[in-house]
Structure 1
Amino acid sequence: MSDERFERGLDKRRKVLGNEHVERSMKNADDFSHPLQELVTEYCWGNVWQRDGLSDRDRSVINLAMLTALNRPHELRLHVRGAINNGMRVEEIREVLMQTAIYCGIPAAIDAFRQAREVLVEMGEI
């Protein structure tokens, strides 16, 4: 593992998902799950999220659509928070989820709207 890439990843992960979430994830990692936390931090956040070509906001747009398509509500909730942290407006999040209704299916979009709404209420955005 590259210590520099891991530290860059940890910084980016905190910026997007929030320090509280990242600290909780790292603290709750045990011998079984700690290698996954290291992998996610180094390669996802320390490599791909560091690349030129897309802004963090653009990456958030993509993630919201992909997580809806994959039916990953827990991760969707995290990335709704990240989308707001990356400068997306509530209206833009809504439009991404509307787009998913057509291409991913109405049931997927309904669930994504439900999850997103709960997070946005928690954050005081709506």
Structure 2
Amino acid sequence: MDNATYEKGLKIRRETLGEDYVNKALANVDDFGKDLQELVTTYCWGEIWGREGLDRKTRSTINLAMISALNRPHELAAHIRGAINNGVTPDEIKEILLQVGIYCGVPAMVDSFRIARTVLGEMNEI
């Protein structure tokens, strides 16, 4: 593991998903999940999110669409919080999810709206 890339990824991950979310994820790491957390932090957050080609708001926008299309509710909730932290507005989230409905199907859109409403409500964003 490249320690500098891991640390860069950990910083971006905390800034996007929040200290509490990341601390909880890392606190629950055991021998089985250690490699997963290192891989996600190093490559997803350090290598990809740490690239200069796209800003974090754009990366969050892309993630919301992809995660909605893939029907990954746990990850969607985390990335909705992250999107808000990265400057995506609730209205932009709504538009992203409407587009998901057209290109990926109404069930994906409906489930994603349900999750977004819950998360944005918890964050006092709607």
> Normalising TM by the smaller chain, what interval?
over 0.9
Q: Aligned equivalents of 1:59 and 1:69: distance in 2?
A: 15
The amino acid that maps onto 2:71 is N
**Counterpart in the other structure of 1:101:** 101
**Residues 63-96 of structure 1, C-alpha deviations (whole Å, 9 max, x = no match):** 0000011000000000000000000110000000
C-alpha RMSD over aligned residues: 0.5
* Percentage of identical aligned residues: 57
Q: What is aligned with 1:83?
A: 83
Pair 1:41-2:38 in alignment: no
* Residue type of the alignment partner of 2:63: N
TM-score scaled by length of structure 2: 0.99
**In 2, Cα distance between the equivalents of 1:26 and 1:53?**
28
Provide the residue aligned with 2:2 in structure 1. 2
Question: Which amino acid is the alignment partner of residue 51 of structure 2?
Answer: R
Letter in 2 for 1:51: R
Which runs of 4 or more aligned residues in structure 1 lie more than 6 Å from their structure 2 counterparts after TM superposition?
none
Length, aligned pairs only: 126
**How many angstroms does 1:53 deviate by?**
1.4
Q: How far apart, CA to CA, are the structure 2 residues paired with 1:119 and 1:41?
A: 23
The alpha carbon displacement at 1:16 in A equals 0.2
Deviation at 1:34, TM superposition (A): 1.1
Task: Report the alpha carbon displacement of residue 106 of structure 1 after superposing the two structures with TM.
Answer: 0.2
Q: Which amino acid aligns with 1:67?
A: I
SS of the residue 1:32 aligns to: helix
Letter in 1 for 2:124: G
Q: How does 1:1-126 map to 2 (within 5 A)?
A: 1-126=1-126
| Separation in structure 2 between the aligned mates of residue 26 and residue 13 of structure 1, nearest angstrom | 12
Q: Which runs of 5+ in 2 are unaligned?
A: none
C-alpha distance in 2, partners of 1:29/1:103?
Answer: 36
SS of 2:88's partner is coil
Question: In structure 1, how many angstroms separate the alpha carbons of the residues matched to 2:58 and 2:69?
Answer: 17
Q: Which amino acid in structure 1 is aligned with residue 39 of structure 2? A: L
Structure-1-length-normalised TM-score: 0.99
